[in-house]
Amino acid sequence: MSARRLTLLVAGAFCLGACSSLNPFSSSNTKIPALKPLTAVAKTAEVWRGRVGSAGRFVFQPAVFGDAVFAAAADGTVVKLQAGRNVWKSSVDMPISGGVGSNGRLVVVGSPKGDVLALDAESGKMKWRVSVNAEILAAPVVSDGMVVVRSADSRLFGLDPADGKRRWVYQRALPALSLRSSAGVVQEGNAVFAGFPGGKLVAVNAINGSLMWEGAVAVPRGATELERIADITSLPVLGSRAACAVAYQGRIACFDLANGSTLWARDMSSSRGLDQDGRHVFVTDEKGSVHALDLSTGSSAWKQDQLAGRGAGRPRVVREYVVVGDVEGYIHVLRKDDGSLVGRLRAESSPILADIQLSGGDVVVQTQDGSVYALGVQ
């Protein structure tokens, strides 16, 4: 057995054992805390519902473009939904492990064996297929000029959207142990932002794959390799002037979007992720509590700990609210200015592990059993 293979096995054992929060399917006897009665202020309602199929052991997030929603299942099914109606349903004839990415013209997914498959967004027909020779767990990013794919070994591939031809590869040295993650990349203009094992956030040129800047979100600390794991396992978020990211067993930090200089950083552990608006950064910590931090200074604005222990996911900002999903299939609505819980809806009991997506004033959710639905929050 190779040293590299051993490293991956050890990392997997660590995630399954010591880091049950990173593995929602682990056999944990921890009881999920009961929800307290709620006097709803925000109105929540199901707008539409569709279905794609089970995610299995993977995590799929739907892609929203205009009024179209694209979703994938582990068995190779890809669907296009509009208002919950199936516009088309295709099979790529192989398992899918990463997806979905779309720019409204292409729909791109990845396979456990490293195949990248692009479908026509109008018809669902296959346009091209290429291989990057590594498992794909994250949703690709699709723009008019480039398809960016992240492999499970944290390499970034820039592919031509016309035919899938490889244009560039970005890779960096990784620590001995790292966490298995479905976190992908975010693109803004000609810059691609990605978090890496070891706590680094990088900006990469989307045209040629060259490094534009890097910032240290977290610095690995501890006496053992396990203690020194400080990986960014969620998407960075971008605002008008700041790029922010958070690391497991590390810190949350914001950087100047143009040059990568550190604006502020503070200790906080999260594998779930974060969001921001013009005033605050919202983050779900490792225990499941949701925080609002001042975007300029990092100081605490509020903390909501009633969701602790419920496997709360990445928070998303919807107008004056913050919405968060959990492992029992609930969507929780928090008031953005003070963190108070003002709404709740449970469309079904399947876990919500994928990032909630936004579609106008609605939120789009894909559950692990394969339901895809839109919720209105007012």
Find the angle CA(344)-CA(345)-CA(351) to the nearest 5 degrees: 110
pTM summary value: 0.91
User: What is the spatial distance between Cα 218 and Cα 199, in angstroms, rounded to a whole number?
Assistant: 5
For the residues 227-235, what does the mean pLDDT come to? 95
Find the angle CA(314)-CA(316)-CA(319) to the nearest 5 degrees: 165
Which of 131, 125, 81 minimizes the C-alpha distance to 106? Answer: 125
Would you state the structure tokens that stand for residue 107, as one six-digit string?
Answer: 């729909």
2: confidence class by pLDDT, cuts 50, 70, 90: very low
Q: Would strands 126-131 and 141-142 be described as parallel, antiparallel, or unpaired? A: unpaired
Phi, psi of 362 (to 5 degrees): -100, 165
Where exactly are the structural domains of the chain?
A: 1-31, 60-181
Count other Cβ atoms within 10 Å, centred on residue 144: 9
Q: What's the pLDDT at 14?
A: 33
Q: Would strands 316-318 and 68-72 be described as parallel, antiparallel, or unpaired? A: unpaired
**Torsional sign, CA 199, 203, 209, 211:** negative
Residues 6+ positions from 46 with CB-CB distance below 8 Å: 345, 347, 373, 374, 375, 376
Would you state the structure tokens that stand for residue 190, as one six-digit string?
Answer: 């000609």
Residues 6+ positions from 9 with CB-CB distance below 8 Å: none
**What are the tens digits of pLDDT across the range 192-227?**
999 999 999 999 999 999 999 999 999 998 989 999
Which of 32, 23, 9 minimizes the C-alpha distance to 271? Answer: 23
Count other Cβ atoms within 10 Å, centred on residue 306: 19
347: confidence class by pLDDT, cuts 50, 70, 90: confident
Q: What's the pLDDT at 361?
A: 83
Contact 136, 177 (CB under 8 A): no
User: What is the spatial distance between Cα 63 and Cα 72, in angstroms, rounded to a whole number?
Assistant: 9
Among 27-31, 72-76, 318-322, 367-371, which stretch is predicted with the lowest mean pLDDT?
27-31
Would you state the structure tokens that stand for residue 42, as one six-digit string?
Answer: 């925000």
Strand-pair partners of 229: none
29: confidence class by pLDDT, cuts 50, 70, 90: low
Q: Taking 60 as the threshold, does the pLDDT of residue 16 lie above it?
A: no
Q: Which 8-state DSSP code applies to residue 260?
A: -
Q: What Cα–Cα distance (Å) separates residue 313 from each residue in 148, 215, 327? A: 24, 25, 8
Q: Is 96 exposed, middle or buried (0-12, 13-18, 19+ CB in 10 A)?
A: buried
Which of 21, 18, 31, 55 minimizes the C-alpha distance to 354? Answer: 55
User: What is the spatial distance between Cα 113 and Cα 331, in angstroms, rounded to a whole number?
Assistant: 33
Which of 175, 172, 210, 178 minimizes the C-alpha distance to 191? Answer: 210
Phi, psi of 167 (to 5 degrees): -100, -35
Q: Where are the alpha helices (DSSP H) in the chain?
A: 3-17
Q: What's the pLDDT at 5?
A: 32
CATH of range 60-181; options 2.160.10.10, 3.40.50.150, 2.60.40.10, 2.40.128.630:
2.40.128.630
Share of residues in the chain with pLDDT > 90 (%): 87
Which helix (H) or strand (E) segment holds residue 245: the answer is strand 242-246
Establish whether the linkage from the previous residue to 327 is cis, with ω within 30° of 0: no
User: What is the spatial distance between Cα 62 and Cα 80, in angstroms, rounded to a whole number?
Assistant: 10
- Strand order, beta sheet including 106-110: 98-102, 106-110, 115-120, 126-131
